[in-house]
Chains A and B, each alone.
Chain A
Amino acid sequence: MKQKLLMLLVIGIILMSFGCTKRTIGGNETLPQLNASEDVAGGPGNEKPANASAGISDQELAKFFNISTDRPIGDEGLDSESPSSE
């Protein structure tokens, strides 16, 4: 039941995102990309670019320092021993 509700939620979000976006997601287009001009001109806060030619602020740079520490599902349970008379 929970999985069905979850799938309905996912389908709903997909339908909503198609309604909201003007671009099709696919090919070389992935997520909305970081844009240098958005960072520098009129962006939230007074962020100074770490390097003018790279066009990226320290705040934007810091966002790349975000990596998952969650381990993937491994071989748990596949290497258990069973009791036997042998």
Chain B
Amino acid sequence: MKKILLLLMVTSLSFANDATMLNARYDYILCDVDYAKAWLEMRESCAEREAVPVFDSSAYTQKCDELLTELKAAAGRGQKSTFSIIALQIKASSLNLIGEVFKDAFDEKTPEFFSCVRDGENPLKVAGDGCRQKALENEKYAAKSYINSEIADAEHEIGRLNSKGIDTSGMQEIADHGKDLVFDIDYAYGVLDPAEVRKIHLRHSRLVFLFRAEQVFATLNYAEPLIEKGNNRNREEALGRIQLLKSVADSLVQECEYSSTVENNANYARLNTKCWEEGLDAYKEFNEIGKLISKGV
């Protein structure tokens, strides 16, 4: 009963932190979309004033409104994966829009039209920057709660494994990096630069990945001699898969080494993506080995 209540409590708090963080991020993304929509409206007004043709952006606007509704729903439910997918769709939509605007600029436009757009976008940029800054100010608190909650979960996992004598030194090192990360949140959000805020979340993503890789490695090292000496019916297969996965986990920890300095956001993000793609396969295999051991009892 105590375990169930504690699990419910931890789950509820995790969900609340996820939803709060996602809602804060939604507000930031909304600033970008609102700016884009206002910019298109301003551009169409200039086109009408200068009697030049302009492409029809209603499809973009409608698509964005639909995606924003889905994004808001995902944020409210704390659905991280769904939120991530929709945020990527919004980004893709924005890139398409920029492409359309670029092509349209060559379609019978006049210098007066371009001048009108330049004048019209200045106040929109000021408003957009203000919106984003306010969103980041609010997100800072959500980010602290979110990352602190993840650190608490990590310490709980370390305690759970420690209770059986599993060597958690690798996991603890990563959790300690997480605590250092929290200290950098104030600065990153304080400069109100999305590029700096990205660094925090890129580092966080790498740390979560590495913590799980270290946990996999620690558990496999603990389990291997026990399975070897035991009488599990799936002993041979389990040992073979354990040994293979240990090698994979070890490689992942080396290739995806943590750096608290983010020299280039795009490169760091690319390596994160690669590490997660390979890591998720490893984590799924890890869980499958557990089922194999359980079936061999």
Contacts and interface: CB of A to CB of B under 8 A. Distances in A.
Contacts of A83: 36, 39-40, 94, 97-98, 101
Interface residues of B, number: 92
A31 B280 CA distance: 27
A77 B87 contact: yes
A16 B5 contact: yes
Chain A's interface: helix, strand, loop or mixed, by majority?
loop
A85 B114 contact: yes
Contacts of A9: 12
B185 interface: no
Chain B's interface: helix, strand, loop or mixed, by majority?
helix
Given A51-B226, A77-B25, A32 B76 contact: no
A32 B2 CA distance: 8
A85 B156 contact: no
Contacts of B84: 71, 73-74, 76
Interface string A70-84: 111111111111111
A37 B23 CA distance: 46
Contact of B293 (A25, A48, A65, A85): A65
Given A73-B22, A79-B194, A7 B201 contact: no
Contacts of B290: 62-66
B286 A82 contact: no
Q: Which of under 10, 10 to 19, 20 to 34, or 35 or more describes the interface residues of A?
A: 35 or more
A31 B159 contact: yes
A63 to B, nearest CB: 7
B141 to A, nearest CB: 14
26 contacts: A2-B76, A6-B12, A13-B8, A17-B2, A30-B159, A31-B6, A54-B164, A57-B297, A58-B296, A61-B293, A62-B294, A64-B222, A65-B293, A67-B283, A69-B283, A69-B284, A69-B287, A70-B81, A73-B146, A75-B202, A75-B265, A76-B29, A77-B32, A78-B197, A83-B36, A85-B118
